[in-house]
C-alpha cells in the first residue's frame, strides 16, 4: 500500500474569498484520493475552517500578530514535516520554501506588477520572482498569468496552468429564495437587477462600474455591489454623486440566494483577474454575464459578453443587450470542473513530493 503524501497548503488566512473556497475543494479532493492535508493560515480567520475539517483536512493557524511576524509562522510550518508545501500567495510561497519540504508556488492572479500594495507585499513579491527557480512547480490559475510568468523569467518547464473550479450545486437557490432575497433588498418583482459580487478595491474598478450605471440608468433597473473592501466609502460617494441608488449590503454570506436575486451579473475589473470565481459561479448558474477582458475572461466569450476594461460606455451598452445563455453551465462543466482542478493539482504535488 502506498503511503499517503502529507500536503501542507499555506495561505494568508481562511477568510471569505475565492482562493479560500478553492482551498476547500482541493482539500476534499486530495483527502478523497488518500492524501493527508494540513492547511496552514498565517493569520487566524475561521470562515472556512469548519469546511476544511469537515472535508477531512487539518487546520493550523500560526496566528501571526502582523505580516512581519515571520518567526511565529515558520516554526509551525517546519514542524509539520510535510512531504510537499504549496503556497497560495507570495508570502505563503516564501514560507513553502522555508518549510523544508519541496515547494510549489501558487500564483492566484495576473498582472503581478500592479499588485503589491505595501512595503512587505513588494518585498515578498520581489523575493518570489527571484526564488522561483527553487520551486518544483509554479502553478498559475490562468493561462494569462502563466504566460506573464514565463515572460518575466520564471522557468518555463516548471510553470503550469490549473484553472479554478466551480461546484455549481453550492450556488443553486429556489424561486422562493430569489423572491425573499429581492424583497429584503427592496427590489420590486419586475425590476432588473444588475450586480457584481466582488471585493470593493481598485482592481475591481468601482469608478467604471458607477460611471456605466449612470449611463445605463433606466426606470425599473437597479444596481447592486455585493461585497466589502477598502474602497467601500469611495464607491458609495461615487454613487451618490452620480445619482445612483446603489444597493450595497456588504459581505455576502448566502451566495446562492444572492445569485438568484441577480438578473445580469457583471464585473468591471480593470486588471489582475485570473478567471474570476464569481464570474465562473454566475456562468455555472446560467446568468447573463457582462465582464471585462482581463485575465482569462475572453475564454468564455462564447457564453458571456466580454468588453474592454475602463470603458463605461461599452459596459453600459452590453448590459442593455445581455441575455440568458444556456451554454454557460455546459462551458463551466467542460472547463472548470472540480475533479479536473483537483486531479491536475494532485499530479503536480505528487511529482513535486517524489522528485519525479
pLDDT (tens digit, 9 = 90+) per residue, 143-199? 999 999 999 999 999 999 999 999 999 899 999 999 999 999 999 999 999 999 999
The alpha carbon of 57 is separated from its chain's Cα centroid by a whole number of angstroms, namely: 21
Those residues of the chain that have pLDDT short of 70 are 1-2, 66-71, 115-117, 325, 356
Q: How many residues does the structure list for the chain?
A: 356
User: How far, in Å, CA of 162 to CA of 170, rounded?
Assistant: 21
User: How far, in Å, CA of 157 to CA of 136, rounded?
Assistant: 10
* CA triple 172-176-181, angle to 5 deg: 80
Say what the pLDDT of residue 169 is. 92
Say what the pLDDT of residue 81 is. 95
Residues 6+ apart with CB under 8 A from 214: 242, 243, 244, 312
Say what the pLDDT of residue 166 is. 95
Residues 6+ apart with CB under 8 A from 305: 288, 289, 290, 291, 318, 321, 322
CB burial string 13-23: b at 16+ within 10 A, e below: bbbbbbbbbbb
Say what the pLDDT of residue 159 is. 98
Task: Note whether 58 and 38 are within 8 A (CB).
Answer: yes
Say what the pLDDT of residue 122 is. 85
What does 196-215 look like in DSSP terms, one character per residue? Answer: EES--SGGG-HHHHHHHHHH
User: How far, in Å, CA of 32 to CA of 3, rounded?
Assistant: 14
The model's pTM: 0.90
> Residue 214's closest CA among 238, 193, 190?
238
For 247, the 3-state DSSP assignment is: strand
What does 49-81 look like in DSSP terms, one character per residue? Answer: HHHHHHTT-EEEE---SSTT-HHHHHHHHHHT-
Q: Which domains does the chain have, with CATH numbers?
A: 6-165+337-354 (3.40.50.2000), 168-335 (3.40.50.2000)
Say what the pLDDT of residue 227 is. 94
Helix (H) or strand (E) holding 294: none
**Cell 475533479 belongs to which residue?**
339
Amino acid at each position: 500500500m502506498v503511503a499517503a503524501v502529507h500536503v501542507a497548503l499555506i495561505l494568508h488566512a481562511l477568510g471569505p474569498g475565492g482562493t479560500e473556497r478553492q482551498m476547500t475543494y482541493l482539500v476534499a479532493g486530495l483527502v478523497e484520493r488518500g492524501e493527508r492535508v494540513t492547511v496552514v493560515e498565517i493569520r487566524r480567520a475561521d470562515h472556512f475552517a469548519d469546511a476544511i475539517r469537515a472535508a477531512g483536512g487539518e487546520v493550523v493557524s500560526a496566528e501571526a500578530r502582523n505580516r512581519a511576524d515571520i518567526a511565529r509562522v515558520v516554526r509551525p510550518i517546519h514542524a509539520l514535516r510535510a512531504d510537499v508545501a504549496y503556497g497560495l500567495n507570495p508570502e505563503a510561497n516564501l514560507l513553502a520554501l522555508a518549510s523544508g519540504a519541496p515547494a510549489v508556488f501558487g500564483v492566484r492572479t495576473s498582472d503581478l506588477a500592479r499588485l503589491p500594495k505595501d512595503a512587505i507585499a513588494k518585498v515578498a513579491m520581489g523575493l518570489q520572482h527571484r526564488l522561483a527557480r527553487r520551486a518544483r512547480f509554479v502553478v498559475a490559475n490562468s493561462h494569462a498569468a502563466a504566460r506573464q510568468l514565463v515572460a518575466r523569467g520564471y522557468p518555463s518547464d516548471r510553470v503550469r496552468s490549473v484553472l479554478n473550479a466551480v461546484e455549481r450545486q453550492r450556488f443553486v437557490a429556489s424561486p422562493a429564495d430569489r423572491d425573499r432575497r429581492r424583497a429584503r433588498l427592496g427590489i420590486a418583482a419586475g425590476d432588473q437587477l444588475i450586480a457584481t459580487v466582488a471585493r470593493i478595491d481598485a482592481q475591481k474598478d468601482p469608478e467604471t462600474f458607477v460611471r456605466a450605471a449612470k449611463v445605463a440608468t433606466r426606470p425599473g433597473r437597479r444596481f447592486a455591489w455585493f461585497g466589502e473592501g477598502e474602497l467601500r466609502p469611495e464607491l458609495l460617494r461615487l454613487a451618490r454623486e452620480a445619482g445612483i441608488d446603489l444597493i450595497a449590503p456588504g459581505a455576502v454570506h448566502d451566495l446562492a440566494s444572492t445569485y438568484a436575486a441577480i438578473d445580469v451579473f457583471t464585473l468591471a475589473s480593470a486588471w489582475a483577474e485570473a478567471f474570476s470565481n464569481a464570474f465562473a459561479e454566475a456562468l455555472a448558474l446560467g446568468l447573463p454575464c457582462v465582464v471585462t477582458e482581463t485575465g482569462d475572461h475572453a475564454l468564455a466569450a462564447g457564453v458571456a459578453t466580454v468588453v474592454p476594461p475602463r470603458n463605461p460606455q461599452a459596459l453600459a451598452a452590453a448590459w442593455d443587450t445581455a441575455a440568458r445563455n444556456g451554454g454557460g453551465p455546459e462551458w463551466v462543466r467542460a472547463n472548470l470542473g472540480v475533479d479536473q482542478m483537483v486531479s491536475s493539482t494532485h499530479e503536480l504535488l505528487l511529482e513535486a513530493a517524489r522528485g519525479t
